[in-house]
Chains A and B, each alone.
Chain A
Amino acid sequence: METIERELPRVRFGDAQIEMAHGAGGKASRRLIEGLFVPLLANPILETLSDSAVTELNGSRLATTADAYVVKPLRFPGGSIGELAVNGTVNDLAVSGARPLGLMAAFIIEAGLAGETLRAEVEAMADAARRANVSIVGGDTKVVEHGCADGMYVATFGFGLVDPRARLSPNAVREGDRVLLSGPIGDHGITILLARGELDLEADLVSDTRSVAPFAQALLDAAGSDLRWMRDPTRGGVATALNELVHATEFGITLFEEAIPLRDEVRGACEILGLDPLHIANEGQLIAVVAPGAADAALAAMRAVPGGDGAVCIGEVRSKPARAVIATTSYGGSRIVDMLVGDPLPRIC
């Protein structure tokens, strides 16, 4: 086994305590991961910071991913924690170009949780796994004292084989590439916000939780190695996912504000609460960067996937401004689209 001389890791994370923002997927999360986890656990696979860790194994590429689900409430319109756990894990594998093969699940359950509730969640996981054509092949169970775990938490591990055609990396991105999106954004985040019942707002809205593996597969089939990069924009939304991409390249991304698909309910809630839909979480959407020559075919392939009729091109990769995401409007305005800072909080005035 070869040994690599490595510099001593330098921990740059100096925040005095952990805040909710460190888990919100935005800037603070990034500081925690890059400032603490990466330097202390340093290794080349981790340092790619992609959705899955990819390991070469007997000529195949094995993708593995881990995820944890701490959603409140456990059930919400359009889904539940169990369904989310399966779809989210499958999606992390899918956007890495991998065909999901199996999952494992660890349950942290609060004493006092109704047996029926747990059963409903395991059934939801079984259903979602069946739909995504994966097996849940193992797991673990722990019970903690009442009041410690919002009912239940689920941690997952997933593995799959990377499609041999996949050449996905921020390094593959070139000027002129198109940014494609599978459908309307913000449904999940706004649904959860409203389902908590803390805001006196109601909307006919359901979470978009679903497997995006069919989109990833269709894109690989249609674009092959012209498919540069994929991501499912969960916490931190489309804005954070694209900012992470441009920070790993020399390029910038220009979004066409009016092209970004948005349901009226999400748009209305965001207008009222002063939130930017680009910062809101999704659980069933996929963003892809595709070479310009393959973009039309890739878009047609996404639209042919059931539930993909809302797929659109929302922007393109440009050389300037470098390492920034901007949004332009049809009337000629433009703004920077930054990563999420902290948790999205409603504004009053």
Chain B
Amino acid sequence: MKYVDEFRDPRLIKNVAREIARHADPDRHYRIMEVCGGHTHAIYRHGLKDLLPENVELIHGPGCPVCVLPMGRVDDGLAIAEQPGVILTAFGDMMRVPGTRGTPLELKARGVDIRMVYSPLDALRIAQTTPEKHVVFFAIGFETTAPSTALTLARAKALGVRNFSVFSNHVTIVPAIRAILDSPDMRLDAFVGPGHVSTVTGCRPYEFVARDYGKPVVISGFEPLDILESILMILRQLRDGEARVENQYRRIVPWEGNLPALRAIAEAFELRPYFEWRGLGFISQSALKVSAAYAAWDSEVQFEVPGVRVTDPKAAQCGEVLKGVLKPPQCKLFGKECNPEHPIGALMVSSEGACAAYYRYVHLGEPVTV
């Protein structure tokens, strides 16, 4: 398959793995955070840890939209779903995310009209074909998914579809990276930068990481070869004492980003003063609300939203895992009370969450020989 097989070529992968081993200083311990959940998933899916030297450690960052969504927002969304005449639509990722009274899937099983969609445009289509109902799209995601929500809002306005609104939980990645860098227990050496987010934002927004914090950032693709090459590029920078933003994912990510997509976001959304991130707490200017120009399509304007706040169970150490202070199995709840079927902490929810990926993919026993 084009664009996949080339990047899983065993010969090339082994070459890069050898180069990584050659570049890694045995007297040094490297802690590299992959920001994006898609990278976390790929790292486990392809068993890439097996290809890295012991002293190159990957820390799994906050870039999993459903993982960082606070439970209270799930409750709010489900409260909207339970209002008469409402159809709640959401991505598949959202369907298993627990609120305090259950997941969207569980509420659906109790008869609440919740439907999975693959695109916000599908939600708009449901609104057009079901004029007697109000269709709410439970929007989640970073800059990757925000443009498609923005374009859907624009289309709803242009077509005059009034029985459609967006419950926006879109977040932006840069403030979260800054929050991690400012955290007192931060001990990272470098970042594997987000791939899909950067197709929209471009590479410039990460320049402060290199400039102000002295940490290399390499924007990376999602195939095994991409991720390993990005790690190699990071090790080269660290060896040479440099800190720059580099773009490994040049076949997709333009340095300046996608300007029409950024314009669409700016038109349909405005920054919230602050927003709660599960595991990280409140981060200022880190999330998007539907803009005033689209108030008629903003679920938070159209419905009474309870504004629930739920604190995570104290025993769950999601924040420490997110910041790389703890590894998933070092959390007291890991694999016991908290598992993919019954997630307690945020990171166990989606297969992109560090804990769920670790639980699912890391082999329990001794190293395997083929």
Min CB gap B251→A, angstroms: 16
| B93 in complex: contacting residue of A322, A334, A348, CB < 8 Å | A348
B50 within 8 A of A: yes
> Which among A268, A273, A347 has the greatest number of chain B C-beta atoms within 10 A?
A347
A73 within 8 A of B: no
| B50 in complex: contacting residue of A27, A264, A334, CB < 8 Å | A334
**Are B366 and A198 interface neighbours, CB within 8 A?**
no
Q: Complex: how many Å from CA A258 to CA B65? A: 31
**Are B13 and A331 interface neighbours, CB within 8 A?**
yes
Size of A's binding interface in residues, CB under 8 A: 43
A-B contact count (CB 8 A): 137
**Are B363 and A335 interface neighbours, CB within 8 A?**
yes
Given contacts A326-B368, A328-B47, A331-B14, contact A348 B105 (CB under 8 A): no
A338 within 8 A of B: yes
Interface footprint category on B:
35 or more
Interface residues of A in 309-349 (CB under 8 A from B): 320-322, 324, 326-336, 338, 341-343, 345-349
| A268 in complex: contacting residue of B1, B51, B140, CB < 8 Å | B1
Q: Complex: how many Å from CA A349 to CA B94? A: 12
Min CB gap B104→A, angstroms: 11
> Which among B10, B50, B92, B196 has the greatest number of chain A C-beta atoms within 10 A?
B92
B326 within 8 A of A: no
A18 within 8 A of B: yes
B341 within 8 A of A: yes
Looking at B37-45, B185-193, B305-313, the stretch in contact with chain A turns out to be B37-45
Given contacts A20-B109, A333-B46, contact A346 B92 (CB under 8 A): yes
Q: Complex: how many Å from CA A18 to CA B224? A: 39
**SS class, residues of chain A in contact with chain B:** loop
Looking at B141-149, B153-161, B230-238, B254-262, the stretch in contact with chain A turns out to be B141-149
| A17 in complex: contacting residue of B106, B145, B370, CB < 8 Å | B106
A200 within 8 A of B: yes
A274 within 8 A of B: yes
| A324 in complex: contacting residue of B13, B109, B363, CB < 8 Å | B363
| B96 in complex: contacting residue of A18, A274, A342, CB < 8 Å | A342
**Are A335 and B362 interface neighbours, CB within 8 A?**
yes
| A348 in complex: contacting residue of B145, B341, B370, CB < 8 Å | B145
Q: Complex: how many Å from CA A341 to CA B359? A: 12
- The 6 A-B residue pairs with the shortest CB-CB distance, nearest first, are A333-B47, A321-B365, A345-B92, A335-B361, A331-B13, A331-B10
Q: A199-B118, A335-B47 are in contact. List 12 more A-B contacts (CB 8 A).
A: A17-B106, A20-B105, A198-B118, A320-B366, A321-B366, A324-B364, A329-B47, A335-B45, A335-B363, A348-B145, A349-B37, A349-B142
